[in-house]
A and B are shown apart, each in its own frame.
Chain A
Amino acid sequence: MNVNITTNEDSIIITVEGSIDSKTAGDLQSQIMGTVAETNNVLLDLSGVSYVSSAGLRVLLMIYRQIKSKNGKVILVGVSEEIRDVMSMTGFINFFEITDSIENALNSF
């Protein structure tokens, strides 16, 4: 799994590639949560993510809680059909905005 973070004035873009499972979720968490704490808006680009397990959902939950406490927004981009399914099965889907392009996401912050 690879993680890349771009910091903008009022938001950050987190781009993840690979699988988010129990092996990689801890790495993802430790790489991003410090930066998430310093912004109000998070755009999470999952276009390169092929797999998310419950460990990955826990990271989404942590991002959501952190941002929600600041009345910010978490927007997901590039969510595959399979990952959407997992998010709806667990009731996660309604709490995140999902769009199809980074541009759309940045415009809605």
Chain B
Amino acid sequence: MDTTTELRKFSANLDSLEQIREFLTGLAIKLGLDKGRTYKLCLAVDEIATNIINYGYLKSGITDGMIYVMLRSGKEMLTVIIEDTAIPFNPFENKIPGEDELALPLEERPIGGLGIMLAKENVDEFRYEFENGKNRNIFCVNLR
């Protein structure tokens, strides 16, 4: 089978964001994803990883948390799964800005919600699961 799986763990602090992006960029480019879509995948993962670090772990006082990043690639699809053991955080329960809000002048724009919107819009599929005490965010990009 033509499948690649790579797993790496990162400390749940903001210094890891750049390392996660570098890890994913290196693999995605090697697997043939173009620069633009690689950027979008990194952006989607980065936004969710930021929430996990800031809200899942640090705000609940956990300073030694970990984030597990797995990249799996087959012929049709590249999948990134990130897992953490922070408090349950379902990104789909967060309000994201609708078209009416996005059309508002920047002076009147509410500040929140953009990160989760960017996560959803920059990959072909984005899912969330909570199982056995773990948050699992799943990002899929079609390779064809």
Contact = CB atoms under 8 A, between A and B. Distances in A.
B18 interface: yes
B115 A54 contact: yes
A65 interface: yes
A57 B127 CA distance: 24
Contact of A23 (B15, B42, B115, B117): B15
Task: Tell me whether chain B's interface is mostly helix, strand or loop, or mixed.
Answer: helix
A21 interface: yes
B106 A95 contact: yes
B106 A86 contact: no
Contact of B14 (A23, A57, A61): A23
Contacts of B15: 23
A58 interface: yes
Interface residues of B, number: 30
Question: Could you say which of B17, B46, B114, B121 has the most chain A C-beta atoms within 10 Å of its C-beta?
Answer: B114
B13 to A, nearest CB: 9
Interface string A10-43: 0000000001011100000000000000000000
A21 B21 CA distance: 11
Contact of B114 (A68, A82, A85, A90): A90
Contact of B121 (A19, A82, A89, A91): A89
A58 B109 CA distance: 11
A57 B30 CA distance: 29
B101 to A, nearest CB: 8
Contacts of B105: 95
A106 interface: no
B106 A51 contact: no
24 contacts: A19-B18, A21-B14, A21-B18, A21-B50, A22-B17, A23-B15, A23-B18, A51-B42, A53-B47, A53-B115, A54-B47, A54-B115, A54-B118, A58-B111, A61-B109, A61-B111, A65-B106, A68-B106, A82-B39, A82-B40, A86-B118, A89-B118, A90-B117, A90-B118
Given A23-B15, A54-B115, A90-B117, 15 more contacts: A21-B18, A22-B53, A51-B42, A53-B47, A53-B50, A53-B115, A54-B118, A57-B114, A64-B106, A65-B107, A85-B36, A89-B121, A90-B102, A90-B118, A91-B102
Interface of B: 14-15, 17-18, 21, 35-36, 39-40, 42-43, 46-47, 50, 53-54, 102-107, 109, 111, 114-115, 117-118, 121-122
